[in-house]
Structure 1
């Protein structure tokens, strides 16, 4: 029977070593007098197996001394003391025998060099990531502990750790309520008789070009929620001809167009502002820059020169006659245009159902504040909620608050690339600094995230404190896994 038990022990020990050899070979306890060898821990179904050999050949102790060796498992608030073994001097050994003490794990010092420690306990999930330690307590003749030392033996890795996710809160900003001033712009190409300033509404393409202006005005004028604040018109002439005459033409044609529009509606003069550009050299430059003209660079050099406008035009014509002929027939007509803009105010909306409807049909009529207000009635993170902030940044693409709130939505959806784009235009508000810290943390760039989050916390973003604590926990887990 003894032979069979020894064989079974060897088989179990071999199995343990195959399952999880966590070697602490050569680790010493009790000032180097006890050496831990062949440490192995494994799990099978609902049992945890712990095995180690204790080399006590170097242990020196008096007859009235003993060492209590107690392994334990600990993980945060969970702990379990494993069965202890007692290595006693002669007098202490017989004391325990006479007093019917637990002698199952009682050993007399000097009788053997190696103690085989084998324990099986019910397995709990926390044990898979626990620390295995050993506490050696030296006792005297009255069972009074004289010294006690706890030594870590190994960290168990029987359970794969599920990384703690970083789940931040998001700090949206409520936009300020403000007057809603919108603007619609366009360009019309009105044909005037040569060297004249009067308009003929039926001349060439004038019907459709005039309709463009009037349709823009009608779209605002016929909207009960909108009020026209101003209409601006700026006329341009092309560079051919004398500059002084082009001043007359650009100014006169702009005034004529303004009066034509005003009389269609009987608008007051005070509603209009006008301006003119005698010769549209900027428009010519844009065309030539993007063209494939043979002498493009030479023409651009003349455009950029300090020559007066009339001298520039003559020089281009004389130096590059073929290209000039092309510009005169194909490009100059497009430089004779009238840019117009209708500025208008949209009334404020307070009914959330109306705002919800406008979000789908006419979001350009809403302010950022109105979009934000209706989003507060939606489920955070829902499709409707996310779409609201996406619409806000589409209507107000350069607004820092719109970009910050859109960045928060992108972060919530895991779109880190999109969030980065929005954050580049989100400004430097404390919430924007916080969002950049969250972005870095979600990318696992914790060294970059922590200073940003600390700065945001100092500036009053309360959510930053929890984010920092989460990062600390994650970094602690990473350090533990690296050990």
Structure 2
């Protein structure tokens, strides 16, 4: 009971404080008319700011006024929001050209807030917004909270933890209690950028890594802001001016010239087709209603019609070869294969027409032992695979060979007889074609390498890993660009050493050396690139990696 009374007393006291401070905060802010601003630094100003950097901190204290730095995702539900122009917030970008690394860039700028804006009883929320052609993306928030605001958070959490310890509610009860007692939850993470306190300002160095895409040649950033007071009132800052970032990437060096490959065109072409026609045991008649024969026969005649009637080739010959499986006597199987081959030819002549009679040649194989050995060699279900293959190679008589397998390896034989023998009863067609109007046996011509073109397209869309998967075998300038874009600088230097020397390769060497800390070597390559092409000097002035390289 004492704990509950204590919580109630603290709650009433905080409500009174919130009313007292909230009203004074609101009235004081309403008298301000300044607008939030956004500006870029000159190079000299940027270097001066960078020299004044302080150690990273997440809390600062001055004259009993404490400010806490933390990010949040959203403000509390149910807040009262009203538009208001407040004390000026100055935002300065540290760099206008930013380098890309492994498909990402780091956006950074400086936010300077007057201490009068912060006060002790309110929280300032700054939200950078990245504008893309088809969407706007809110980046991670920056929040700086006054000392009393933070004390209010501590009190709320103390009330919640005391309640849980006293009444031990279940999960649902804990969630309800948290929503009841904690008005402003702590953020889960804390930004670790530099926070610097001046005499009248607080300066925050903001940076965040952003994934690039094909629209990221130029990035635009604006700021949105809110001030949240302990009385739940919130005041919106007008949108800021726009920061403009130019992304310095390697894709400007992509070689877009199409690549061709040599294609060999042959005068003589062969088409092979394997089919499985079922016959009654010991019979040679073609029965189209037996098993899958209808579909197989339709497949044969359809392919034959397409080949014979096409206009690009002459059909010199069509060879039909029928084969049997090894069970039974070899002599009988040979007569059976011959009879089935001739019967199938007669069937095709009747179905397709007399025009193929003269070009269709019939052959037969009594028992297709080579095909049997190939299938045994690749079938993991056969336990004695090696021994059976050795037996087939040693025994020259086909009848004794088949009988020996059946006697020595009965289980394997049963499997072979059931699963592999049916695949040996096949009919193979071989179409020998000759290209019309062609005198030489072969002609060499060029055709566009569409695979390489796809790799270049992916590179230009900043899909570097997929592009490198395609371009890695070519070892050319585009392969180098893909490696540099993924920060594979050592590998890029190795490839550059094998390429012809020109302004672009020298510039790329300078970039790789800059990243690896080899400044002297990098400077030599950059100066050589400028000597070979004066435009490289202008490009280098816009490239922060070259700027870093040229620092003394």
TM class by shorter-chain length? 0.3 to 0.5
TM-score, with length taken from structure 2: 0.39
Higher relative contact order (CA 8 A, sep 6+): 2
TM-score, with length taken from structure 1: 0.44
Q: Which has the larger radius of gyration?
A: 1
